[in-house]
Structures are given as structure tokens and as C-alpha cells.
Amino acid sequence: MHNVHFISTPVYIFTLAALFRETSLVFQTYKYYIIIHIITNLTSEAYVTFMWLPMTYLPYDVYRTTGWLSQWGVSGIVQFYIVAQFIITIGVSILEMFYYRFKVVVIHHYDNYLLKLPSYGMNVYRFFATVHVVTITWSTFDGQTMIYQQNKKDALFKKVPDLVKEIGCHSVFILALEDPILCGNVVIYGILVTLGSIVGLSTVVFINQFLNKARNLSKETKKLQRMLIFSLLAQGAIHVGMIIFPVFVQIYQMMFIMYDNNFSTLLLFCVAYHGFFSTCAMVVFTKQLRQRVIRYVRCCAKPETVQIKSSHGITTLAETSIR
């Protein structure tokens, strides 16, 4: 699992370097939205693979964390909430990119009530993302949260006496639906997924409609805007797919019992590296960024050697780096 970092880390570094060096007007402000998104992806990836690192005990709805935080005595439910907050933050960052492209392309040209809906949706999304920070902070300092967790573990041990003792550890998170804060957060997750899908897709529809109707934009400009929005769609689809898939598997496991714990490795891979695959999609589908990243990779892999001939007829070799 950790070996993937040998691939993902250089990709993050080259992409960030390319973005910081990008000087085109199209990316003058937009690149900072992308940079924040990439840093969030990188931080989330490091947290899941080093700080959280859960183990499953199918068919039970239990996660025992084995990362650094468990060694530092952080409870399993707090670690779970931090993962959820990372995912929400990634959702905010990518929706901010959708909304920025919407403002640049559409909102400055029309004053229509319908076109204000993405703005309202973004404000509601930001509100619930902030509410989640409040609820997990409250849960962290509320002793009743751990009581709900312990009661659920005790009930599971009574039901299955020969259960492995590790499930009773402080670093174990168990789905305790008796906890009102946990249930409230689950509702927030559902709202954010629904709202995020509506905001993202609506901005794409409005941008596409505007580009189809616009007569004062050149073909090159329209092509560039469509490329950027397609790149965003690819990133969003990867995030949604690789996050929703483990959620659906968890729901399936609750309805139809699953026993293969090896399958959980695939789920952990999806949760850990969805940001890396999203970044790869951004590089592949964004022409300017792709070209600059490729130049950097070639420069690092094999510096270009050129001949320099002096006025005295002496020829020397020099290695050049691409700026």
C-alpha cells in the first residue's frame, strides 16, 4: 500500500511545480484553486496511509485503526471523523473550482435568477461543511460519545463471546446508531453528496449552454473552456467513484453479510489514493499543465546536451534545463 507513495509523491511535486511556474492568463487565479486542491489531496492521502490505516473485522461494522494516531491514544471515532472532514474539504475545494469556472464564463455575462442557484448551493454546502466541523469538535470533547461506542462494543461481545479482544480497544470505531451526533453527521454526509452533485452538474450545464449560444467568443476560447470543465468533470468523477464505492460496499455488507477482509484492502486503496488519481486526470486532460509537467519530467530524467562553439573554434558541451 505504501509503495504507491513512490509514484504519487513525484506526481504531486511535478504538478505543483508546473502550476507555480504557469504564467498564462487563464491560470493566473485559477491555478491557486488547483494548488489548494492538490495540497488537500496530498494531506488526505498521508493521513489515511500513515495516521489512520484501519483494519476491518468483517462481517462486523468495526474498524480498528493501526496508524500513528492509534499509538498516540486518539480514539477510533475521532480518527473516523477526521477522515470524513478531509473528504468534505476535498469536496469543497473541487466545487470551488467548478464555481470559479462558472463565474468566469457565465455569471459575468448574464443576470438571471436561475443562474444564481449554483451560488446558493455553494453557500449551503459551505454551511454544512462548517457545521460538520462543529459537530465533530463537540463529539471529541463530549464523554457521552465514547460511552455510546463502549456500549455498542459490549453488546457485540455479549452477542459473539469468542470475538477477538482487539475490537474492544480505544482505537476501534464501531457504528453506534444510538449516538445522535453520529446520526446527525450521517445525515450531513447525505446532504453534502446530494448538494455537491447538483452544484457541480448545474455549473457544467450552464457553462455548456452559454458556450453553445455565445457568438462573441472564438473557437479557441470555447475549446479551452470546454477542456477545463471536462478536466474538472474527470476529477470529480474519480473522487465520487472512489469514495462512493466503499460506502456502497459498507451498505451492502450491512444488508448482505461479507466475510472477505482482504477485500477491505481495495476499499482502503480507494479512500487513500482517490486524490492521486484525480490529480493524474487533471494533468492528462489539461493541455497546458500536461505539456509543462512533461517538460519537467524530461528535464529531470535526461538533461538536454547542446554544443557551444567559441570564437576560437573550440567546441564544448553543455547541459541545459527547460524553464
pLDDT reported for residue 108: 60
Q: What pLDDT score does 300 carry?
A: 73
Cβ atoms of 151 and 178 closer than 8 Å: yes
Between 41 and 320, residue with greater pLDDT: 41
pLDDT of residue 320: 46
Confidence of residue 9 (pLDDT cuts 50, 70, 90): very high
By DSSP bridging, strand 304-309 and strand 315-320 are antiparallel
Domain count, the chain: 1
pLDDT tens, 77-97?
999 999 999 999 999 999 999
pLDDT of residue 63: 87
The pair phi, psi for residue 306, each rounded to 5°, is -125, 155
111: domain CATH number is 1.20.1070
Q: Across all residues in the chain, what is the average pLDDT?
A: 86
Q: Tell me: pLDDT of 50 over 80.
A: yes
Which residue's entry shows cell 470524513? 84
- pLDDT for residue 308 is more than 60: no
Distance CA 201, CA 29 (A): 22
Could you tell me which residue, 297 or 272, shows the higher pLDDT?
A: 272
**Residue 10: domain span:** 2-320
- pTM over 0.85, yes/no: yes
Contact 85, 139 (CB under 8 A): no
Work out the average pLDDT over 271-283.
93
Q: What is the pLDDT of residues 159-195, one digit of tens each?
A: 988 888 888 899 999 989 899 999 999 999 999 999 9
**Higher per-residue confidence, 318 vs 137:** 137
DSSP, collapsed to helix, strand or coil, labels residue 54 as strand
Please tell me the predicted confidence (pLDDT) of residue 250: 72
Chain centroid offset of residue 93 CA: 8
What per-residue confidence (pLDDT) applies to 288?
86
Q: Across-strand partners of 60?
A: 57
